[in-house]
């Protein structure tokens, strides 16, 4: 950010000659006014830079699970969790259910808005309605895993799996869809230079399914290389298909999730909990473990594809701010309790989950971080997104992509 040269010249000229123009008392008053004007000028220049960004991308393509599904799960049948297709889901921003697992927008929605792009439609709607869309699509499906679902069926976890539309299935959808975007390699290369690809968040469900039936953290750590490998393999495939900018998010702090706090607590051992936040330390430590493995793998990807830009998005760090200093971000209610649920210490009851009989939604979701015990609120996703877009939670910084 620089002050225009004309403004600089005027300020310098003013400071150079004002001594001869005004008496001492008047000079002091003039100095104070001048300093105030300079401070205000810089403030508004910075505000303008922070609140609007240069248009960098023409399209966004997203892969993942319920953290970025804009409706594919509903369109696929949604047999496991159909309640996301009705209020109170979607009540805050859209005023109706959209198939998003929140009261409003998701992180992907905020990113699209930041680039001046429309919210991403779900791929299955594009196919069903035979729409022609070139501003981006979400291939994400709630409940999706990074590993193919056959892996979980082989482990006896099939009944828990929400969907068979894993990451590899979503990549297959993209390959089919690609032909509607461009026809020649040159055309595709030019188009994808102006497109952002998000691979995730994905992988959380790969751990959720075994955790929820008693799997240990040690077992999850053994699974992590497979999960991370699937994510980085997807990144490679997209780059080889022409992607130039790929953002790969890590996992959120699952130890702060109402579902984890309910299933694995409360415990009488206070050392299990972070004294500052009340989150389960061991599960947050595991989320950090996964994220560290993912970051190392992405660094290897950068060496393999030096022509591409591979960005790691620190969802964990961006989210933890909300638990450390909730009131700073406007969260006045207990940050660990779900806004919508069926009771219990964290307002999560598996027999009366949000949208089911026996549950109810709070009157002010923006005062809560957690929406339904598993997913976050529109307000929480908004603050996380700002940390990613304008803050320090992307590596390399996402703001350098925005023209700032």
Q: Which residues are catalytic?
A: 66, 372, 375
- Residue 198 gets which letter from DSSP? E
What is the b/e burial string over 66-83, where b = at least 16 CB atoms within 10 angstroms of the residue's CB?
A: bbbbbbbbbbbebeebeb
CB 354 within 8 A of CB 372: yes
CB 347 within 8 A of CB 338: yes
C-alpha 214/C-alpha 229 separation (Å) is 24
**CB count, 10 Å around CB of 95?**
10
CB 338 within 8 A of CB 348: yes
C-alpha 138/C-alpha 292 separation (Å) is 26
Report the candidate in 61, 72, 62 with the shortest Cα–Cα distance to residue 165: 72
CB 333 within 8 A of CB 361: no
C-alpha 228/C-alpha 220 separation (Å) is 12
User: What strand order describes the sheet that includes 136-138?
Assistant: 136-138, 59-63, 195-199, 245-249, 309-313, 394-395
C-alpha 75/C-alpha 122 separation (Å) is 9
C-alpha 329/C-alpha 205 separation (Å) is 28
Angle at 293 between CA 287 and CA 296, to 5 degrees: 140
CB 399 within 8 A of CB 123: no
CB 32 within 8 A of CB 63: no
Helix, coil or strand: residue 280: strand
C-alpha 113/C-alpha 105 separation (Å) is 10
CB 80 within 8 A of CB 217: no
Cα-Cα end-to-end distance for the chain: 8
């Amino acid at each position: 950010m620089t002050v225009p040269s004309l403004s600089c010249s005027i300020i310098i000229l003013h400071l150079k000659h004002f001594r001869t123009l005004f008496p001492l008392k008047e000079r002091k008053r003039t100095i104070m006014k001048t300093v105030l004007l300079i401070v205000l000028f810089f403030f508004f220049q910075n505000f303008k830079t922070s609140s609007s960004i240069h248009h960098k991308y023409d399209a966004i393509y997203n892969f993942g699970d319920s953290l970025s599904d804009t409706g594919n799960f509903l369109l696929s049948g949604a047999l496991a969790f159909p309640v996301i297709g009705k209020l109170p889901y979607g009540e805050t921003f859209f005023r109706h259910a959209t198939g998003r697992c929140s009261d409003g927008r998701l992180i992907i929605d905020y990113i699209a808005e930041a680039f001046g792009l429309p919210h991403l439609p779900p791929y299955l709607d594009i196919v069903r309605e035979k729409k022609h869309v070139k501003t981006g699509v979400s291939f994400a499906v709630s409940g999706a895993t990074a590993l193919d679902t056959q892996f979980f069926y082989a482990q006896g976890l099939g009944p828990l799996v929400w969907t068979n539309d894993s990451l590899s299935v979503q990549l297959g959808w993209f390959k089919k869809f690609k032909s509607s975007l461009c026809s020649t390699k040159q055309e595709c290369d030019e188009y994808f230079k102006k497109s952002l690809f998000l691979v995730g968040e994905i992988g959380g469900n790969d751990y959720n399914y075994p955790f929820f039936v008693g799997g240990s953290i040690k077992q999850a750590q053994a699974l992590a290389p497979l999960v991370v490998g699937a994510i980085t393999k997807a990144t490679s495939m997209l780059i080889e298909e022409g992607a130039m900018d790929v953002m790969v998010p890590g996992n959120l702090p699952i130890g702060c999730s109402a579902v984890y706090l309910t299933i694995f607590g409360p415990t009488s051992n206070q050392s299990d909990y972070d004294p500052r936040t009340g989150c389960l330390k061991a599960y947050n430590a595991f989320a950090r473990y996964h994220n560290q493995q993912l970051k190392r793998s992405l660094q290897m990807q950068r060496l393999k594809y030096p022509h591409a830009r591979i960005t790691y998005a620190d969802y964990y760090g961006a989210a933890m701010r909300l638990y450390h200093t909730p009131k700073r971000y406007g969260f006045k209610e207990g940050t660990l309790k779900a806004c919508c649920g069926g009771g219990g210490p964290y307002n999560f009851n598996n027999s009366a989950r949000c949208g089911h009989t026996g549950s109810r939604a709070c009157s002010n979701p923006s005062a809560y971080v957690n929406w339904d015990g598993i997913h976050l609120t529109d307000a929480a996703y908004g603050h996380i997104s700002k940390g990613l877009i304008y803050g320090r939670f992307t590596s390399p910084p996402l703001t350098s992509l925005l023209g700032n």
